[in-house]
Amino acid sequence: MRSVSQIPRLLLVLLAGACQSGTSHDAAPKRTFRFAYTVNVPVPTDGTKTLDIWVPLAQTDPGVQRVSDVVIHAPTGYSVNTEAAYGNKMIHARINNPSDVTKISWSATIERWEDHGQGSLGTDERFLRSNHRISIKGKASEMAVELGVSGSGDVHNRAKVIYNDVLSGMVYDKKHSGWGKGDFVHATTVCKGNCTDFHSRFIGVGRAAGIPVRFTMGIPMKPMAKGEHNGYHCWAHYHDGKSWHPVDISEADKVSEQDPTKAEWFFRHLDQHRVSVTFGRDIDLAPKQAEPALNYFVFPYAEADGKPVEMDKPYWKFTYEDVN
């Protein structure tokens, strides 16, 4: 568990004023790069009649991320669809009688700004409701009361109390059973996990307190001009009635001991070295998959005759290269 450093009151006031910039990104550091997402779906079992594949597409988040010049390579007859709940876009391809590896890729030019709360997408009641693994009843409501964040009051102050609770109450740890599912119970009992678990705890208490909170799945990048990755990273935003303000508590935990100032920075700030891919939890794809809703959607998903196709990191890769 981590201790949260205390920032002088005057500095907090100055920082709060500096962040109140509406939806403008003009002064924020920016990165422009070409991003490519490639997947090779393995051949399903013999006798498979229909193979359905869904691949997420990065989308524009006004004020924070702009996606343009998208190029898609996919089997003939593919479609680009948008699911209804969160507006996530995806490629869908259906292959009849598959007999070979199916390759799908897309690339795009992405402009990404440092996020200091300028995201202007709308909000609605789904960001105040429970998810399958995040109930806002019971423990979440109790914690909101215990932390003194329920009901009215400055939303930023309340969100900061929840942020501090997660940061001081959890440890980044992937060497135990149950991590990585974004399960609120796990995050508040085992108190360990990765970014999904950290932000599930923030989401649960935040929503129980009446604060709209949104979950984002994305791809991390390093500051170097060119690179490759095959993992994900996730973070959250809360809404203050005007715009979305970011938190990245798992990244804060990683640096909290050696750089407590940076750990504080991840409240209401995100660096530009990442790609936002999809929003939300409990996602039904478009067209809808045969299996239940996906916990989250950042990696490709496939079904052979309505049954999930097992895939892992060797089957996909993400590359990026800065554009001057």
Structural domains of the chain sorted by starting position, each given as residue range(s) with its CATH number in brackets: 9-28+114-278 (3.10.620.30), 30-113+283-322 (2.60.40.2250)
- 103, containing H or E segment: strand 102-113
Q: Which residues make beta-bridge pairs with 31? A: 112
Q: What distances in angstroms separate CA 318 from CA 147, 169, 183, 218, 221, one per listed residue? A: 40, 33, 26, 11, 10
Output the six-digit token pair for 124.
């609605």
pLDDT score, position 3? 43
The gap from C-alpha 109 to its chain's centroid, in whole angstroms, comes to: 20
Who has greater pLDDT, 98 or 324? 98
170-188 tens-digit pLDDT: 999 999 999 999 999 999 9
Phi, psi of 271 (to 5 degrees): -75, 170
Phi, psi of 262 (to 5 degrees): -65, -35
Distance CA 290, CA 301 (A): 12
Picking from 112, 108, 103, 113, the residue whose alpha carbon sits closest to that of residue 36 is 108
Residue with tokens 């400055």: 154
Distance CA 171, CA 89 (A): 33
**Is the pLDDT at 14 greater than 80, yes or no?**
no
**Is the pLDDT at 17 greater than 80, yes or no?**
no
250-302 tens-digit pLDDT: 999 999 999 999 999 999 999 999 999 999 999 999 999 999 999 999 999 99
pTM attached to this predicted model: 0.91
**Is the pLDDT at 2 greater than 80, yes or no?**
no
59-93 tens-digit pLDDT: 999 999 999 999 999 999 999 999 999 999 999 99
**In the structure, what pLDDT confidence band is assigned to residue 22 with cuts at 50, 70 and 90?**
very low
Output the six-digit token pair for 62.
């006004």
**In the structure, what pLDDT confidence band is assigned to residue 45 with cuts at 50, 70 and 90?**
confident
pLDDT score, position 27? 77
